[in-house]
Structure 1
């Protein structure tokens, strides 16, 4: 059959994503991927330089996605199928362009781990993320903020005369447009992905890219890669070089061999072909390869510990199999960002397809022989020169204009294209995609005045160019508010506070109070932060703020009041939260903390005994275990001090239930 691209509908049990969190994320971004507080002198010079370069300090201007649940209902998802005689790929344009499945039609095998449910979890930089398939990560270290966001999608001409599916969007953390062109050449057993990231600005920009592929974690699965060493990184935040495949008494090439979460960033020698494969006991599975610019390769495993197993179950249906991830990136590790010069671009080609190798060799004790077997079979199935030729043929087509739009992304790219007068061949950002969130900013751009009609400020923009426009704009409460957010993002905290105080004087009450409270908390003023949070909650209730805003504000306020040693006031704020939100796991956990702080450890323990789930639990978050142990220690200590002996006895008498095993220290 000729290669086809068609629309379809994929129906999955899915938990609704809910609205974005309307409160701008002002907290300092917790960069859990930095290698501790030590120096970088022991790392290769380029690697150390890129680890220092432009780490993410803030999520702004992106908003958090943390209002989803775990109640799944059958949901129809728009999907696009790319198919030829040998492969069938199903893509979800409304969910970050995720390749949900890739089927080898000749064997009937699914080459990817395709999650049978769509369950958001708090693993992306801005919150909601889901596991499975092939995801495209751009922005900064971690799962990107577009994990559950819609991308633009269209048909475009392919180099072989057929068609490609183009996915594109404007990535807002780094203000960069990108595209992914997916196509199946006629008769090819490999899905090609042509990727391009452009920097249309007059200054260098930091770029982060990793293509993450989930594969089924089956007994005997082995991950092979042309490397003899790797950089190991775990939740202990220690980056160290280890031999491959065996280190610390285990063969790390088998995902089920270790008990702890782990990243292995492989050190591929210069000149070596870039590839990584995940092959089962029978020597069959998936191989990914690319042109040389995509230098990094990685294996991620959850491990077999209770916490790792619990995380796997958390992301899908209980009783279903788990997954490991094989990944490919621009840098050696995910702790790095790569500079892209002004006006420049990064472009490369990836290929994904089935591979069959001799299982006796691929699972043999001789690592070099195992690698050589995979390299030889890959060379026969898809020669390196063929990948390079496909990349060269694709480059002119990357600029071809779309023939037929299949899905629409956000309006932020259209706004940035208008502001910068940008022409971006191949990735048009139509004015028709501009919506209500962009309207005030377009007005600012065209008239010098920012006027918002809603009772609550919409999303802020924080880049230097937008900050300059805000500084020169006609004064007003919303202008002052957004200017404060932009100043905060730039590190000018005193000016940000002045702008929010001006917004407050001009009548923008609870949004400005909340920003001032967050600034006080970040600045080490817990009492003042608590006062302002309490006032913000009262003002928001009087103004009949939205449910999402009230819930997000109350959560921050209760946390701040507890930090200031005011549990009674925290209990009062918590009591005013709507019943449906108060019944959710994040507020149940907060309620247990309030009870403990008020001296009622038994009631706090009863909350855990009754059982709850924190829907938006962050990856690696240990709060469940920390609160549990604090309660247990108080139950054992009574009115006495919590000594080491008390802690040890608490752990013997009150073991953490399995349902709360999540954090690395569980």
Structure 2
């Protein structure tokens, strides 16, 4: 296998920096997910466990744009005589491309652009390739962040490539090792997760593989019982693929038969030792992934065959392109199920990624089960259980080797964790090394506390929610920063009463926009929240995120005159911000004022629309209705607005409707 560190030139949007304001976790740790009588007790176990929103200590990545320019993207290329793999170092170690040299075919959906959009836990997310999601429900914390990338040489002289990081929220260590033996037609990916904490940890892992989609793309796998959302009841239900009565009498193994976006979580039988999933095409080409049993369950994701779904696929890629589905593999029954990883344990698994050309007629047999049985035999011949488990044992033994050369740096948080452990006489798990060169200003902010016992007198640069740091803060001299960070840690327990007390103490020591904003977010009374934001604005805000949040609160409270007043007082740079503008337009239209819409507001290419969000489309319809009403000297009534919606076509750039 050849390994080289290189740049690839891609049209890329600017990722931008991070939002400095922390997003506090949900008060409810678990999700309440309704399900029906089709679930067995085993299938309902841990449904919703630890699925509540949780972001800290990470910050939101919501500063990207849609102004793509050709940029060099750091990558590692792995290559043998049969396959060529490309991994993106700055985007979570995403397997960007897997090219079959024998058949001259790309096996994955290789996105021709780098275009973040608002779909991940931290907002920014890319489509395409294979993404590695760990720890918490959603597209993972590091999906648009740099990873440590290194060359590892095993004791037998074999070399392979590794990405790795320290996951700060649950204090886990994780690695993904890429093995491409010289004669192999499969890329083997070994994943190791280490929980060396003295307590159990909620755990999540899903590998999401994007593959091209066309009218005849068919998904095959070695299981048929699937969990999905019943549109008639709104509850999760179990059924058998490929026919799903709730959606109509069609074979939904052909994903474009699904009109709306949907997830099917396939319950692979417990006795299956090598679960797999594949996308088959009209000509008999197949892209597959097949794993050891720890990575047991599978998911089919499709955007559906409606304008909103097609718009999303193009929005994440380029005009006329980007049609893909995802075949996903996870350690729990669904992404809505959690797992409990015991203290002091390691979990690992190996996945084979590859392609083949099979008998098209058999792959597209009208009997889906026969098609699956045929491909199961083909995959058994290609990657037998004995072969896969033999390689897994080998790769597991090599998994604790240290990287001999680091091509690319990840975050400095693993380095700080190593420093904290050293102070207590503890070490990192075997195989993990975090160099001092990874330290940046985000970590230096905390070095003063760790080394000198006090935070420096400056605005927050990053966050910790760990117990060791809490103890250090408690012992440090009083300052507004000390009590502000203690409040953030309390909010993450979650103990909101204690958090509010800390934030108030921070303001008592020194009025500051950070603690005032935190009080505004945690305050249950919206009028009191407004007062806190007023106080913060009086001190002088330092980031547009304060204005985004404040205007959103005022719009929700229907205080439209105040929105206009606050908006007009903002600096021009803040006024031009997308979220600020959306909130301002909402209030201006509510006041019967279309002036903000007349300068091309709806012509812009919105960057931060959240999956499923329809606010901008609703604003456009109301704008068209209000403009027509003003011309006719009438009011906008519900019936008039309905008439406008039926007789006006929503512009394509605004159509993100999924239903």
Query: How far is 1:185 from its partner?
Result: 1.1
Moved more, 150-159 or 372-381: 150-159
Q: Name the structure 1 match of 2:111.
A: 115
Contact preservation (8 Å) 1:570, 1:594: yes
SS at match of 2:139: coil
Q: Name the structure 2 match of 1:616.
A: 608
Moved more, 397-406 or 504-513: 504-513
Q: Name the structure 1 match of 2:40.
A: 44
CA gap of 1:28–1:34, structure 2 versus 1, over 3 A, is: closer
Supply the distance in 1 between the matched residues of 2:77 and 2:592 (Cα, whole angstroms).
58
Q: Name the structure 2 match of 1:231.
A: 227
Q: Name the structure 2 match of 1:243.
A: 240
Are residues 1:101 and 2:97 paired? yes
Supply the distance in 2 between the matched residues of 1:13 and 1:453 (Cα, whole angstroms).
41
Q: Name the structure 2 match of 1:15.
A: 13
Query: How far is 1:226 from its partner?
Result: 1.1
Residues 13-412 of structure 1 correspond to what in structure 2 (within 5 A)? 13-26=11-24, 28=26, 36=33, 38=34, 43-158=39-154, 161-233=157-229, 238-247=235-244, 248-272=248-272, 273-412=274-413
SS at match of 1:399: coil
SS at match of 1:437: helix
Moved more, 91-100 or 52-61: 52-61
CA gap of 1:75–1:576, structure 2 versus 1, over 3 A, is: farther
Supply the distance in 2 between the matched residues of 1:641 and 1:143 (Cα, whole angstroms).
44
Supply the distance in 2 between the matched residues of 1:484 and 1:609 (Cα, whole angstroms).
39
CA offset digits 1:233-276 (Å, max 9, x no partner): 48996422222112232211112111100111112112223001
| TM-score for both structures, normalised by structure 1 | 0.92
Residues 542-581 of structure 1 correspond to what in structure 2 (within 5 A)? 545=542, 549=543, 551-581=544-574
SS at match of 1:232: strand
SS at match of 2:399: helix
Q: Name the structure 1 match of 2:432.
A: 427
Residues 634-649 of structure 1 correspond to what in structure 2 (within 5 A)? 645-649=639-643
Mark the runs of 5 or more structure 1 residues left unpaired by the alignment.
none
Q: Name the structure 2 match of 1:657.
A: 651
Contact preservation (8 Å) 2:160, 2:177: yes
CA gap of 1:284–1:17, structure 2 versus 1, over 3 A, is: same
Supply the distance in 2 between the matched residues of 1:540 and 1:138 (Cα, whole angstroms).
38
SS at match of 1:187: coil
- Aligned equivalent of 1:493, options 496, 518, 532: 496
Residues 527-606 of structure 1 correspond to what in structure 2 (within 5 A)? 527-541=527-541, 545=542, 549=543, 551-600=544-593, 602-603=594-595, 606=598
SS at match of 2:72: strand
SS at match of 2:287: strand
- Aligned equivalent of 1:452, options 456, 478, 483: 456
CA gap of 1:264–1:459, structure 2 versus 1, over 3 A, is: same
SS at match of 1:360: helix
Contact preservation (8 Å) 1:150, 1:409: yes
CA gap of 1:443–1:610, structure 2 versus 1, over 3 A, is: closer
CA offset digits 1:451-501 (Å, max 9, x no partner): 2243x2121211334333323332211111101111111122222122112
Supply the distance in 2 between the matched residues of 1:213 and 1:144 (Cα, whole angstroms).
14
Supply the distance in 2 between the matched residues of 1:234 and 1:125 (Cα, whole angstroms).
25
Query: How far is 1:206 from its partner?
Result: 0.9
CA offset digits 1:158-204 (Å, max 9, x no partner): 58742111110012232211000001012000001100111011100
Query: How far is 1:609 from its partner?
Result: 7.0
CA gap of 1:321–1:270, structure 2 versus 1, over 3 A, is: same
Mark the runs of 5 or more structure 2 residues left unpaired by the alignment.
none
CA gap of 1:414–1:213, structure 2 versus 1, over 3 A, is: same
Could you say what the CA RMSD is over the residues aligned between the two structures, in angstroms?
2.5
SS at match of 1:250: coil
Aligned pairs, number: 648
Supply the distance in 1 between the matched residues of 2:570 and 2:429 (Cα, whole angstroms).
47
CA gap of 1:581–1:74, structure 2 versus 1, over 3 A, is: farther
